[in-house]
Amino acid sequence: MAGVAVSTTINGDSIEYLCQPDETLLDVLRDRLGLTGAKEGCGTGDCGACSIILDDRLVCSCLVLGAEAEGRRVETIEGMAHGDTLHPLQQKFLEHAALQCGICTPGFLIAAKDLLAKNPDPTEEEIRFGLAGNLCRCTGYDKIVRAVQDAANVMKGA
């Protein structure tokens, strides 16, 4: 199998890598680039733990080939904070204890960021349906929804 050479942009940085044609972008991020913030919970697009933003679209990186990232923009959890300043969603997740084990947290944060980018003032129902592609087994979602609501308020005021 011949490797595929890929030039892409990840969290604003130009990145080049070689990957196998059947290798997912999630595997490239985790195993080749050391960006282990995106998690593999299922590998089939059912849990959202590997969520990233690809050219302004929220996607599961387990359902994208590494080769497909050529010439595109990838945003991962590692690019969410600005230096040592957390994104309001990250801060509110901490304040509301919106995580217990934390394995789903990077995916939720990316999905919530995408949600608020498209809908800055969501209702509870819109948040719940907007985040339905991200499974959390610890929290019952209550504190996650509250953290997103609180972050939305902060971001509107900003």
Partner 1 sequence: MRYIRPLSMEDAVGQLAGSSGTAAILAGGSDLLVRMKGGFIEPDLIVDIKAIDGLGEIRETAEGYSIGAAVSCALMGESAALKREWPGVVEAAKLIGSKQVQGRCTIVGNLCNASPAADSVPALVAAGARALIAGPGGKRTVAVEAVPTGPGKTSLAKGEIIEAILLDRRAPRSGDAYLRFIPRTEMDIAVVSAGVNLTLDEAGVVKAARVALGAVAATVLLVEEAAEALIGRKLDEAALERLAKVCSGACRPIDDKRGTVEFRRKVAGVLARRAATTAYARAGGK
Partner 2 sequence: MNFDPRYSGRNFTSVGTRPIRPDGVDKVTGRARYGADFNMAGQLVGRVLRSPHAHATIRKIDTSKAEKLPGVKAVITAADLPDLTDGDAAMYDILDNCMARKKALYDGHAVAAVAAVDARTARQALKLIEVDYEVLPHVTDVDEAMKHSAPVLNDTIFTEGVEEKPARPSNVTTRTQYGHGDIHKGFGQADYVVERSFKTEQTHQGYIEPHACVANVSSDGTADLWVCTQGHFVYRQHCAQLLGMEASKLRVTSSEIGGGFGGKTHVWAEPVALALSRKAGRPVKLVMTRDEVFRASGPTSATSIDVRIGASKDGTITAAEATLRYSCGPYAGMWAEIGAMTAFACYRLENVKTVGYEVLVNRPKTAAYRAPSAPMAAFAVESTVDELAKEIGIDPVEFRIRNAAQEGTRSSYGPVYGPIGIGPTLEAAKNHPHMKAPLGKNQGRGMACGFWFNFGGQTCTDLNIGMDGSVSLAVGTVDVGGSRASLSLVAAEELGIAYEQVKAVVADTSSLGYNDMTDGSRGTFSSSMATISAARNAIKILRERAAQTWDIPVEDVVWEKGHAIAKGEKYGNLAALSLREIAAASGKTGGPIAGHSELVADGAGVSFATHICDIEVDPETGATRVLRYTVVQDAGKAVHPTYVEGQYQGGAAQGIGWALNEEYIYGKDGRLQNPGFLDYRIPVCSDLPMIDTQILEIPNPNHPYGVRGVGETSIVPPLAAIANAVSNAAGVRMTHIPMSPPRILAAIEAERGG
Residues of the shown chain interacting with partner 2 in the complex, contacts defined by CB under 8 A: 1, 20, 22, 30, 35-44, 46-47, 49, 76-78, 80-81, 86, 90, 93-97, 99-106, 109, 124-125, 127-129, 131-146
Residue among 18, 95, 129, 154 that touches partner 1 (CB under 8 A): 129
54 binds partner 1 (CB under 8 A): yes
* Stretch of residues binding partner 1 (CB under 8 A), selected from 64-72, 79-87, 136-144, 148-156: 64-72
Angle at 30 between CA 114 and CA 1, to 5 degrees: 115
Contact 62, 49 (CB under 8 A): no
Does 57 interact with partner 1 (rule: CB under 8 A)? yes
Least distance to partner 1, CB of residue 1, Å: 5
Name which of 90, 88, 125 is nearest 108 in CA terms: 90
Q: Is the separation of the CB atoms in 19 and 8 below 8 Å?
A: no
60 belongs to the binding site for partner 1 (CB under 8 A): yes
Map residue 93 onto helix, strand or coil.
helix
- Identify which of residues 69 and 115 has a Cβ nearer to partner 2 in the complex: 115
Paired with 152 in beta bridges are none
Identity of residue 128: R
User: Which of 137, 84, 79, 148 lies closest to 111 in space, CA to CA?
Assistant: 148
* Cross-strand bridge partners of residue 53: 58, 75
- Binding of residue 64 to partner 1 (CB under 8 A): yes
Contact footprint for partner 1 (CB under 8 A): 1-2, 4, 20-22, 24, 43-46, 48, 51, 54, 57-60, 62-65, 67-68, 70, 111, 114-115, 129-134
